[in-house]
Structure 1
Amino acid sequence: MDINDDFRKQQRKRYSNMRAVKDIVMALIILGIGFLMFFGKHFQSLQGLMQSKDPLILNIFGGLCVLYGGFRLYRGIKRDY
């Protein structure tokens, strides 16, 4: 085992950990946005903003955010980089 091999292995492990953390954080943000699109009309502070938008567009965008956020969460947990 060479010192360079150990360094490369540690570097790959650090990269994998940082990418997993980034994927999980981004997934939580995107999932949060998606759920706000679905349930924003139930929050008092967002009620005025959500009523002025088309509900179909809010539901489509919310669904896409939930799907993509779920994918990012799965990829962050799986860690297959």
Structure 2
Amino acid sequence: MDNEFRAQQKKSYNVMRVAYDVTMGILLLGMAAMMVFAEKLGLEQFTAADNTFFRYFFGGLCLLYGGFRLYRAFKQLAR
């Protein structure tokens, strides 16, 4: 009985972790898109306040980390 509880607890933790990874990945990829395409989207908050290099650098970091979070979530689902 205790093993069944532990297995259910581990399964629910894995589902929560996958949902968290997917959500964070989507948010980070959205932030990357906003940073990189701020001029085309007409977002004055990003284009006026930040230096172009730092905006693209931060957008690239968000893109890489968001992609990693999605990769980790889908890899966990494949198990």
Q: Distance in 1 between matches of 2:61 and 2:26?
A: 14
- In the alignment, structure 2 segments of 5+ residues that lack a partner are none
The structure richer in helix per residue is 2
Cα RMSD (Å): 1.3
What's the TM-score once normalised by structure 1's chain length?
0.87
Point out 4+ residue stretches in structure 1 off by more than 4 angstroms: none
Residue 71 (1) aligns with residue 63 (2)? no
Aligned residue number for residue 46 of structure 2: 50
Q: Give CA-to-partner distance per residue, 1:11-56, whole Å, 9 cap, x none.
A: 1000000000000000000110011100011123x1x223322111
What's the TM-score once normalised by structure 2's chain length?
0.89
